[in-house]
Chains A and B, each alone.
Chain A
Amino acid sequence: MWLWLLGVFILTLKISMVLGFLLLLAAWLVLVERKLLGRFQARIGPNRAGIYGLLQPVADGIKLLAKEDFMPADAERGIFRFAPAIVASTAILTFAVVPFGTPFTIGGKEIPMVISDINVGLLYVLALTSLSVYGVALGGWASNSKYALLGGIRGAAQMISYELALGLSIVPVVMLAGSFSLVDIVNAQAGLPFILVQPLAFVIFFLSVMAESKRIPFDLPEAESELGAGYHLEYSGMRFGLFFLGEYVQMQVLGALIAVFFLGGWRGPLLPGPVWLVIKIIAVVLVMIWIRATLPRFRYDQLMELGWKFLVPAALLNIVITGVIVLI
């Protein structure tokens, strides 16, 4: 009984630490992104709230909470309220299977440094990224606004197209690791991170997750210049904040997934596991910000062409090649 309670306590501790870290980092990633984008454009970026603008996320949070929660008159009320929660919660839930260190033992009981080591962890991750499409599509549809609807439709089309390349690009990694569990995939990279073994899979996966997270240059669902704000056009206050939070948590999740699948997860010399994972996540996120500062948005046909004519065939080819090599 006591051991069971201890287990619950440790699990709660792990969940709250991961969750708190995730949400706090998401808030400050917004600041990092705004600062860096500013410097990329020879501007300064936010620097008024606190020194170097460090309190800007706090100010933004207070502003979002204090804003009016507006709902269009003919919106589908239930779905309109529910959609932001889907986006935010699917993004957060993905972190449940990400391993962040070596297991350690307290009192003869081994505590794994992962919230939940599901043996089909990878399928769980793919399922959750697919679910987050619903947040975008339903949010756009329930707003009863043409721009939001167009954004939602674009989001659904884009994410379904890139889901395929995303799933296929991971297959060679699974072949090499011999397991769907994220813990086993990280353990399989003890010698060599998969980015060196599977550079093509890395490129395909990186492009697909960029498209999944709806970031520039794949930000067609929220294309400011064409659709106002796309699927979250009618959202305000903390409901918009949830979409925003979901986007930045998703950035971290994608950073973590890239770290787990290709960069060796928490493995690294000298520093402890969680630190290495955070370093890798932030490195991926910085590259994403760099890409955002450099590339313009794709045209819709270019987006579809890249997804269906380049990424999917390349991923299939990669699977065949990897399969042949693994067989030999």
Chain B
Amino acid sequence: MSNIFQIIWALGNGFYTTLKHLFRRPFTEEYPEFKRPLPPRTRARIILTSDPDGRERCVACYLCSGICPVDCISMQSAEDENGRRYAKWFRINFSRCIYCGLCEEACPTSAIQLTPDFEFTRRDILDLVYEKEDLQVAHGGKDPDYNFYAHAGVATRFAGKGEHMGEEKPVDVKTNLP
């Protein structure tokens, strides 16, 4: 007999719980009106960033293109008159991209980076093929101070650290302590 009371109590408790929820404020965040601020490392639209000096970081090493699991990155490398490599053209097919972020991990110059901007759908799939001018931005992305070509070098028998031609002074690593 107590079993029946238990059943009735359990049923009543369940119905009371759902009824309570009926008068609660919904948790829903309504998307186009409310946009949740995304963490800066969210992986969405890809950009090509620039040095602090404003030059392109990309050295067209093909590492991003090589690691890309869906082969959506393609480029053509070239050299300028100073021997600095750059990408003649650089193309990302976002209709293939899976936003895995492997290109960003592979990049030695921190040039290719993923941004939290995910709202770039298009009606025509060919509009999702981004060329270099669509990808290149004038800022440094997540690494604003990093400069691949600024190197301090090592001490040789000719000169000490940072004393060679075109070298910068070595960074005092203690300033990197938190």
Do A and B truly interact? yes
A23-60 interface (Cβ within 8 A of B)? 36, 38-44
B27 touches which one: A42, A290, A291 (CB < 8 A)?
Answer: A42
User: Is the CB–CB distance between A290 and B26 below 8 Å?
Assistant: no
> In whole angstroms, how far apart are the Cα atoms of A44 and B26 in the complex?
6
Write out the residue numbers on chain A whose beta carbons fall within 8 Å of the beta carbon of B171.
none
In the complex, A195 has a CB within 8 A of chain B: no
User: Is the CB–CB distance between A39 and B26 below 8 Å?
Assistant: yes
Chain A residues with a Cβ closer than 8 Å to the other chain, count? 13
B13-48 interface (Cβ within 8 A of A)? 14-15, 17-19, 21-22, 24-28, 30
Encoded as 1 (CB less than 8 Å from any B CB) or 0, chain A from 176 to 214 comes to 000000000000000000000000000000000000000
> In whole angstroms, how far apart are the Cα atoms of A38 and B24 in the complex?
11
User: Is the CB–CB distance between A290 and B30 below 8 Å?
Assistant: no
> In whole angstroms, how far apart are the Cα atoms of A293 and B18 in the complex?
7
User: Is the CB–CB distance between A295 and B22 below 8 Å?
Assistant: no
Write the nearest CB–CB distance from A82 to chain B, whole angstroms.
Answer: 38
Write the nearest CB–CB distance from B109 to chain A, whole angstroms.
Answer: 45
User: Is the CB–CB distance between B14 and A43 below 8 Å?
Assistant: no
> In whole angstroms, how far apart are the Cα atoms of A39 and B23 in the complex?
8
User: Is the CB–CB distance between A294 and B28 below 8 Å?
Assistant: no
> In whole angstroms, how far apart are the Cα atoms of A273 and B82 in the complex?
93
User: Is the CB–CB distance between A39 and B15 below 8 Å?
Assistant: no
Write out the residue numbers on chain A whose beta carbons fall within 8 Å of the beta carbon of B21.
39-42
User: Is the CB–CB distance between A39 and B22 below 8 Å?
Assistant: yes
A43 touches which one: B17, B19, B26 (CB < 8 A)?
Answer: B26
> In whole angstroms, how far apart are the Cα atoms of A290 and B12 in the complex?
12
A294 touches which one: B18, B24, B26, B27 (CB < 8 A)?
Answer: B18
Write out the residue numbers on chain A whose beta carbons fall within 8 Å of the beta carbon of B14.
294-295
> In whole angstroms, how far apart are the Cα atoms of A269 and B28 in the complex?
41
Write the nearest CB–CB distance from B75 to chain A, whole angstroms.
Answer: 42
> In whole angstroms, how far apart are the Cα atoms of A30 and B14 in the complex?
24
User: Is the CB–CB distance between A38 and B26 below 8 Å?
Assistant: yes
Write the nearest CB–CB distance from A216 to chain B, whole angstroms.
Answer: 12
> In whole angstroms, how far apart are the Cα atoms of A290 and B22 in the complex?
10
> In whole angstroms, how far apart are the Cα atoms of A44 and B21 in the complex?
12
> In whole angstroms, how far apart are the Cα atoms of A304 and B19 in the complex?
29
Which residue of A has the minimal Cβ distance to B25? A42
User: Is the CB–CB distance between A43 and B22 below 8 Å?
Assistant: no
> In whole angstroms, how far apart are the Cα atoms of A260 and B162 in the complex?
96
User: Is the CB–CB distance between B18 and A290 below 8 Å?
Assistant: yes
> In whole angstroms, how far apart are the Cα atoms of A41 and B19 in the complex?
10
Write out the residue numbers on chain A whose beta carbons fall within 8 Å of the beta carbon of B25.
42
User: Is the CB–CB distance between A290 and B28 below 8 Å?
Assistant: no
Write the nearest CB–CB distance from B8 to chain A, whole angstroms.
Answer: 12
Write out the residue numbers on chain B whose beta carbons fall within 8 Å of the beta carbon of A293.
18
> In whole angstroms, how far apart are the Cα atoms of A293 and B25 in the complex?
17
> In whole angstroms, how far apart are the Cα atoms of A295 and B11 in the complex?
9
Write out the residue numbers on chain B whose beta carbons fall within 8 Å of the beta carbon of A44.
26, 28, 30
Which residue of A has the minimal Cβ distance to B29? A44
User: Is the CB–CB distance between B19 and A290 below 8 Å?
Assistant: yes
Which residue of A has the minimal Cβ distance to B20? A40
Instruction: Report B's interface with A, CB cutoff 8 A.
Output: 14-15, 17-19, 21-22, 24-28, 30
15 A–B contact pairs at CB < 8 A?
A36-B22, A39-B22, A39-B26, A40-B21, A42-B28, A43-B27, A43-B28, A44-B26, A290-B15, A290-B18, A290-B19, A291-B15, A294-B14, A294-B15, A295-B14
The 8 closest A-B pairs by CB, nearest first: A294-B18, A44-B28, A44-B26, A293-B18, A42-B27, A294-B14, A40-B18, A39-B22
Known: A39-B21, A39-B26, A42-B26. 20 other contacts (CB 8 A): A36-B22, A38-B26, A39-B22, A39-B24, A40-B18, A40-B22, A41-B21, A42-B24, A42-B28, A43-B26, A43-B28, A44-B26, A44-B28, A290-B18, A290-B19, A293-B18, A294-B14, A294-B15, A294-B17, A294-B18
